[in-house]
Amino acid sequence: MNIIIVGCGKVGVTLAEQLNLEGHDIVIIDNRAAVINDVTTSLDVMGIVGSGASYHVLLEAGIEKAHLLIAVTGSDELNLLCCLIARKASNCHTIARVRNPHYNDEIVFIKEELGLSMTINPELETATTMARLIKLPSAIEIDTFAKGKVELLKFHVPPNSVLDKMKVINIFSKLRCKVLVCAVEREDQVFIPSGNFELRANDIISFVASPRDSMDFFQKIDMYIHKIRKVMIIGGGTMALYLAKRLINSDINVTIIEQNSERCEELSDLLPEALIINANATYKNVLLEEGLEDTEAFAALTNYDEENILLSLYAKKRSEAKVFTKISRMTYDDIVVEMPLGIIVNPKLITADRILQHVRAMQNTKGSNVETLYNIVENKVEALEFFVRNNAKLLGVPLEKLQLKPNLLVSCINRKGKIIIPNGQDHIQLGDTVIIVTTNKGLDDLNDILL
């Protein structure tokens, strides 16, 4: 597809990298010449210096032949204007990043009136993800398929776990759990496991199951932790507000520590059920006095990565809380991932992932479309949900007889709401949705899983 990306911040560059790898023709627009030069030097993309809201700049970028325009500048209004002009200049699809909470209540109206294909709110998406993980304490990552009927969860195998040295094929017979292990991260390696693959302590495992079966699985491996009731959030920004609202609606006690007194007053009005503390959380006595040692989840969400890292390290040392660390700049990601920071959340990467899901879903208008896509191991493993149409070559054939590409697993079949964790005798039918986990990139159609 011909895709125009307006804005070359972290999100724009990440999108350009991924979409370029998938073979799309990319044009990037930014008013900073140095940034355009950096991106065009490192990527095989075309760059234009100028405003994405300029009709003439969009014409130069090829808007008349473009299939999609993605506006991810730092300004909501500019993003919306870029999309509006693009829609007037062509019939292309448009995606806008819209972050201001004031637009939330009217985002449906904005989307419909401007003809947007999609809007994305990074802080809201990140807060929603965090809230789901707080509600399921054992998981470190959770994605959903089949409109919530199927979950793909990731967790860390603790020492002395019943899973240590257990083969994947024996999970059902020994634990009587309907789950399918679909990816295993071990040190720097990633495996798509066969039945004879042996799990080990300290592995990071991704598995597919229904919500009920995933809870049953965690209970049987002694990883079910009581429901979290007390959460401490550091920083009172927009993301903290979104997260607190979701937790309060689930009857979870929320404490927010924010050092700006005016913002504390705003939060007190917006969140009357929460405890708002006006203090500097970097003073360790503040955290201890406000109950750090007893808190069950801790989220460092200030605007400073270094501060979030230090706060999370301290929380890990002084509590048993499930820790979340917001990091916006991943310059030293290879070092950061080795630190005990709990779950690292990056709003920019989450935004890029959601947009990539939409692009992949709209890419193929024929055949078995990709309904949903997740990067479950960054740049290494993808989970894709396909809708099975009548052009699929594998209809009715037992899975064990299919010649599938290597490093690929048929993880789940959703048949009219019935969730099937498949074995070799199961087969795919017309109208199913099928979840594929693979290290192979660029799968656009269900037929692509065959050799």
Q: Is the pLDDT of residue 438 over 60?
A: yes
Q: Is the pLDDT of residue 365 over 60?
A: no
Tens digit of each residue's pLDDT (9 = 90 or more) over 86-134: 999 998 999 999 998 888 889 999 999 999 999 999 999 999 989 989 9
User: Mean pLDDT over all residues of the chain?
Assistant: 91
Please state the φ and ψ torsions of residue 14, each to the nearest 5 degrees: -60, -45
The larger pLDDT score, comparing residue 399 to residue 336, is at: 399
pLDDT computed for residue 367 by the predictor: 44
Continuous segment of H or E residues that includes residue 135: helix 122-135
DSSP 196: T
pLDDT computed for residue 147 by the predictor: 77
Query: Which is it for the CA torsion 183, 186, 189, 191, positive or negative?
Result: negative
Q: Which amino acid is at 337?
A: V
The larger pLDDT score, comparing residue 330 to residue 154, is at: 154
Q: What residue ranges define each of the domains in the chain, with the CATH number in brackets? A: 2-120 (3.40.50.720), 139-220 (3.30.70.1450), 230-345 (3.40.50.720), 363-449 (3.30.70.1450)
What is the three-state SS of 62-129? CHHHCCEEEECCCCHHHHHHHHHHHHHHCCCEEEEECCCHHHHHHHHHHHHHHCCCEEECHHHHHHHH
pLDDT computed for residue 225 by the predictor: 64
Residue 94, sorted as left (phi over 0), alpha (psi -120 to 50) or beta, turns out to be beta
For residue 381, give the nearest of 204, 121, 215 by alpha carbon: 204
Q: Is the pLDDT of residue 364 over 90?
A: no
Please, which pLDDT band fits residue 353 given cuts at 50, 70 and 90?
Answer: confident
Q: Is the pLDDT of residue 348 over 90?
A: no
DSSP 3-state assignment of 281? coil
Tens digit of each residue's pLDDT (9 = 90 or more) over 271-319: 999 999 999 999 879 999 999 999 999 999 999 999 999 999 999 999 9
Mean pLDDT, rounded, for 407-426:
92
pLDDT computed for residue 378 by the predictor: 72
Q: Is the pLDDT of residue 55 over 50?
A: yes
